[in-house]
Amino acid sequence: MVLENFDSCRESFTTLPGENNQKRMQKAWFNEEHGPPEVLQLGYLPVPSPKENQLLVSVRAAALNPIDFKLRQKPLVSTTFPVVPGCDMAGVVVAKGDGISRFCVGDEVYGNIQDFNAEGNLKQLGVLAEFILVEENLVARKPENLSFEEAASLPVALQTAVEGFKVAGFKKGQTVFIFGGAGGVGTLAVQLAKHFYGASLVTATTSTPKVEFVKGLGADKVVDYRKTKYEKVEEKYDLVYDTIGDSKYSSVVSKDDMLLIDITWPPSNPGAIHSG
What is the per-residue pLDDT across 143-152, written as a single tens digit (0 to 9) for each? 999 999 999 9
Report the amino acid identity of residue 246.
Answer: D
pLDDT of residue 22: 56
CA dist 106 → 46, 109, 135 (Å): 22, 9, 16
Of 126, 275, 75, 116, which Cα lies nearest the Cα of 189?
Answer: 275
CA dist 107 → 88, 172, 234, 238 (Å): 17, 35, 50, 42
Question: Which residues in the chain land under pLDDT 70?
Answer: 1-23
pLDDT of residue 121: 82
| CATH C-level class of 153-274 | alpha beta
Neighbours of 53 (CB within 10 A): 15
8 Å CB contact between 93 and 57: yes
Of 253, 229, 243, 130, which Cα lies nearest the Cα of 181?
Answer: 243
CA dist 38 → 67, 80, 88, 206, 274 (Å): 17, 19, 22, 33, 32
Domain ranges of the chain: 25-142, 153-274
Neighbours of 11 (CB within 10 A): 8
What kind and span of H or E run contains 258?
strand 254-262
Residue 43, strand partner residues: 28
8 Å CB contact between 243 and 158: no
CA 223 to chain centre: 26
What kind and span of H or E run contains 163?
helix 155-168
What kind and span of H or E run contains 44?
strand 40-46
**Any idea which fold 25-142 has?**
Quinone Oxidoreductase; Chain A, domain 1 (3.90.180)
pLDDT of residue 19: 42
pTM: 0.85
pLDDT of residue 23: 62
